[in-house]
Amino acid sequence: MQFDWSTLGAKAPTALVRARNVAHHAVQWVAKAARANLEAAADDSHASLVWDGERAAFMSQPIASGSAEVRIGFSLHRFALIILRNNRDLDEYELGGRKDASVAVWFDSAMRALGLKQAGEIELPYTLSSLPVTRGSAYHVSGESEAFEELARWYDAAADLLAGVAAAQPTAGPLRCWPHHFDMATLIALDADADGNARSINVGMSPGDEHYAQPYFYVCPSPRLKAADLPLIASPGQWHMQGFVGAVATAEDILPHSEPRATAVEFLNTAIAIGRARLGV
C-alpha cells in the first residue's frame, strides 16, 4: 500500500530539527545493543536498523537469545525504547524526562535478563552533535509530539519510495536505516571499472543534517562525480557539492508539486540515470 503523501507537511519540514536531533541521539541505544551482541560486518551493516512503519520504530537486526529472536527498537511516536521477543512486544521504557545514566541502568538490566551482553558502555565509532542530553541533561521532548509524528511520516514516505526504486534495480541492496547519519538508503551495486574500482549509487532519504535543516532525498554515485562535469537537473533536484557530491531534492522543493510522490520518483530515476551515465555503466 502506497504512503499517502498528502499527509506530509502538517509540520513544516524546517521545524523538525530539534526533534530530529534528540531522536537521532536516542536511536543510538539500539545501535549499541546491536554492536554488543551481533557479529561485526565489514560494512557495519550489523548495526543498521530496519524501519517498522506499524510501530513507527527503528528496529535492530535480529539478535539470538537462546531459542528466541530478540529485536531492540526505538519508537518515535512514544519516544521509548522497546524490546520484542519473537516479534511480540516484551518491554518498553519511555525516555522523556530521563537522563542517559538512568537509561543505561534499565537497558543493561534488560539485556542481562534476556541473556544478552550489556550495551550501556559500548563506544560508537562516530561522534554526534552535542546536545543537552549528551552533557548530562534529561531528554526534553515536551511539545515535540507533532514533530516526531511528522518525522515518522517522512520515514514512511521514504520506505515506500525507496522500496519501489530498489525493486526496479536488480542489484539494489536491502533498505537500511543507518544510525550514524540517521538516513534510510539502498545501495545499487554496479560492476568495477577497468582499474578494478567498485562502482555504486547510494539512494536514500536524510531527515536533515548539517547540510539541510529539513528532510531530503539524495542520489550519490561512487566514485564521486566531478563537480565541474555535471549536467543540469530539473526541479526539484539540485546538485550538492560540499561534503559530498550528489543530486538532492529537499522536502520544501518536493511538497509544493501537485503530485509530490511522482515528482520524487522522477527525480530519483533521473538522478540514477545520470549517475549510471557518468560512471560509464
> Is the residue at 81 inside a domain?
yes
Do 196 and 110 sit in the same domain of this protein?
Answer: no
pLDDT tens-digit map of 40-92: 999 999 999 999 999 999 999 999 998 999 999 999 999 999 999 999 999 99
> Is the residue at 3 inside a domain?
no
> Is the residue at 267 inside a domain?
yes
Residue 281 has a pLDDT of 86
Q: For residue 193, what pLDDT band results from cuts at 50, 70 and 90?
A: confident
Do 168 and 123 sit in the same domain of this protein?
Answer: no
Assign 3-class secondary structure to the chain.
CCCCHHHCCCCCHHHCHHHHHHHHHHCHHHHHHHHHHCCCCCCCHHHCEEEECCCCEEECCCEEECCEEEEEEEECCCCEEEEEECCEEEEEEECECCEHHHHHHHHHHHHHHCCCCCCCCCCCCCCCCCCHHHHCCEECCCCCHHHHHHHHHHHHHHHHHHHHHHHCCCCECCCEEECCCCEEEEEEEEEECCCCCEEEEEEEEECCCCCCCCCEEEEEEECCCCHHHCCCCCCCCEEECCCCCEEEEEHHHHCCCCCHHHHHHHHHHHHHHHHHHHHCC
Cα–Cα dist 211/241, whole Å: 10
Q: What domain range is 32 assigned to?
A: 12-135
Residue 62 has a pLDDT of 97
Do 104 and 149 sit in the same domain of this protein?
Answer: no
Which of 76, 102, 135 is the endpoint of a domain? 135
Residue 273 has a pLDDT of 96
The CA dihedral of 80, 83, 87, 90, to the nearest 10 degrees, is -100
pLDDT over threshold 80, residue 195: no
pLDDT over threshold 80, residue 194: no
> Is the residue at 140 inside a domain?
no
Mean pLDDT of the chain: 95
pLDDT tens-digit map of 29-43: 999 999 999 999 999
Domains in the chain, number: 2
Grid coordinates representing 279? 560512471
Do 51 and 19 sit in the same domain of this protein?
Answer: yes
State what percent of residues in the chain have pLDDT above 70.
100
Going from the C-alpha of 75 to that of each of 22, 70, 81, 125, 184, the distances in angstroms are 13, 16, 6, 23, 16
Do 99 and 53 sit in the same domain of this protein?
Answer: yes
pLDDT tens-digit map of 85-96: 999 999 999 999
Which of 81, 115, 135 is the endpoint of a domain? 135
> Is the residue at 92 inside a domain?
yes
Residue 268 has a pLDDT of 97
Which of 116, 135, 154 is the endpoint of a domain? 135
Residue 213 has a pLDDT of 98
pLDDT tens-digit map of 92-108: 999 999 999 999 999 99
> Is the residue at 5 inside a domain?
no
Cα Rg of the chain, angstroms: 19
Q: For residue 229, what pLDDT band results from cuts at 50, 70 and 90?
A: confident
Do 81 and 149 sit in the same domain of this protein?
Answer: no
Do 66 and 27 sit in the same domain of this protein?
Answer: yes
Do 36 and 117 sit in the same domain of this protein?
Answer: yes
Residue 272 has a pLDDT of 97
Residue 104 has a pLDDT of 97
Residue 20 has a pLDDT of 98
Residue 2 has a pLDDT of 85
> Is the residue at 54 inside a domain?
yes
End-to-end CA distance of the chain: 32
Residue 127 has a pLDDT of 94
Do 54 and 154 sit in the same domain of this protein?
Answer: no
> Is the residue at 175 inside a domain?
yes
Average pLDDT for 137-159? 97
Residue 196 has a pLDDT of 73
Cα–Cα dist 28/211, whole Å: 21
Going from the C-alpha of 142 to that of each of 84, 138, 146, the distances in angstroms are 26, 11, 10
Nearest alpha-carbon partner for 156 in 76, 68, 245, 241? 76
Do 200 and 273 sit in the same domain of this protein?
Answer: yes
Cα–Cα dist 174/166, whole Å: 8
Do 118 and 200 sit in the same domain of this protein?
Answer: no
Question: Lowest mean pLDDT: which of 191-195, 201-205, 264-268?
Answer: 191-195
Do 102 and 173 sit in the same domain of this protein?
Answer: no
Residue 197 has a pLDDT of 79
Q: Is the dihedral of CA 213, 30, 77, 69 positive or negative?
A: positive
